[in-house]
Structure 1
Amino acid sequence: MWPWGHLAVAYLVYTVYSHRHDARPPRAVPVIALAIGSQFPDLIDKPFAWSFEILPGGRTFAHSVFVAALLLPAAYSLACRVGRPEIGTAFAIGHVSHLLADVPPSAIRSGDVSATTFLFWPVLEPPAYDPVDGILAGFLRYSMGWFEWVQFGLVLVALVVWYRDGTPGLGSIRRGLERAAETAS
């Protein structure tokens, strides 16, 4: 799944959680943590596999449930320590939704779990993927198949829901950019 698809899935899951758990739309800072969590596995694995050739594939280390089992309690504990457990929850929802969204639809339809071995790296070898010569090359070979259209649809739905939720996070990012511009000048 592409970054925008991961973000859309994560936001849709989190907004349902937030409305049910807190009876209100998501708040700004947790949404920013959610966005980071939804991209975190790829921010680690893709560069270290595709650009630096340290990892054996773009879905290995940070896509592993073993890393999640260590990372997510640590992130939640840190969030609790600063008195903001909802930030840890949002990051965890983003991260877990990323891992689940990376399970190929064909594996779900056919019941063939061999495409999910990336979740258990390094105990199991990740599925074989076509080699990618850097992150830019990965984006340049992007093509629109049915799965990409589904992701695009999810992005549109997520944008509508995010707008109806009051665009949480947008004001915080805007204020941060304005402060950075003031500091730079």
Structure 2
Amino acid sequence: MWPWGHLAVAYLLYTLYTRRRYGRPPRALPVIALAVGSQFPDLIDKPLGWSLGVLPGGRTLAHSVFFAALLVPVVYALALRFDHVELAVAFVFGHVCHLLTDIPPDVTTNGPAELTFLFWPVLEQPEYEEVGSILEGFLRYSMGSYEWGQLGLCVVVIALWYRDGMPGFAYARLTLARYVPVGR
């Protein structure tokens, strides 16, 4: 799944969660934590695997349930220490959504071998087409029905995010304005 698809699924499920748990749409900082969590495995694995060659592929270390088993308690301990449990829940929510949405849609026809990336390094990752760099991966991108479905989901989720008051947008804009001068 592509970055926008990971984010769309994570936001959709998280907004349903917050509405059920708290009776309100998500708040700004947890949405930012959710967004980072939904991209986190790729932010680690893609550069280390595709660009630097440190990992054997783009879905290995941070896509592993073993990594998640270490990450979750660390994130939760930090959240307790700094009294930001809602941020930790959102980050972990995004991370887990990423792992689940990376399960290929053809896993039902190709069998459990498609899931081995979740158990790296104990199990070898499935064979993927080699990608020389992140840019090369994007340049090879083609739109099939699965990709169009992701794009459609993104449009629906953007409308939902807008209806929720665009949580995180104003905070991110103000934060960027402090560090990136615009105009004059």
Q: TM-score range by the shorter chain?
A: over 0.9
1:90 and 1:152 mapped to 2: Cα distance?
23
Structure 2: distance between partners of 1:111 and 1:165: 39
Give the match for residue 24 of structure 1: 24
Instruction: Name the stretch that deviates more: 125-134 or 75-84.
Output: 75-84
Are the aligned partners of 1:28 and 1:170 in contact in 2 as well (CA < 8 Å)?
Answer: yes
Q: How many residues align?
A: 183
Q: Deviations over 1:45-84 (max 9, x none)?
A: 0011101111011000000000000101211221121111
2:97 alignment counterpart: 97
For 2:180 and 2:60, the matched residues in 1 are separated by 37
- 1:15 and 2:15 aligned: yes
Q: TM-score normalised to the size of structure 2?
A: 0.96
Map of 1:59-98 to 2, 5 A cutoff? 59-98=59-98
Contact 1:76–1:87 (8 Å) recurs in 2: no
Q: What is the identity, as a one-letter code, of the residue corresponding to 1:4?
A: W
Q: Within 2, Cα distance between the matches of 1:113 and 1:74?
A: 29
> Which 4+ residue blocks in structure 1 deviate beyond 4 angstroms?
none
1:1-185 equivalences in 2 (<5 Å): 1-107=1-107, 109-110=108-109, 112-181=111-180
Q: Following TM superposition, by how much is the alpha carbon of 1:111 offset from its aligned partner in structure 2, in angstroms?
A: 6.8
Q: CA deviation at 1:41?
A: 0.2
Q: Within 2, Cα distance between the matches of 1:15 and 1:42?
A: 22
Rounded to whole Å, the distance in 2 between the matches of 1:167 and 1:81 is 29
Gaps of 5+ in 2: none
Pair 16,111 (structure 1): closer, same or farther in 2 beyond 3 Å: farther
Shift of 1:110: 2.7
Q: What percentage of aligned pairs have identical amino acids? A: 60
Question: SS state of the match for residue 180, structure 2?
Answer: helix
Q: Which amino acid aligns with 1:78?
A: L
Provide the C-alpha distance between the structure 2 equivalents of 1:173 and 1:37, rounded to a whole number of angstroms: 16
RMSD: 1.4
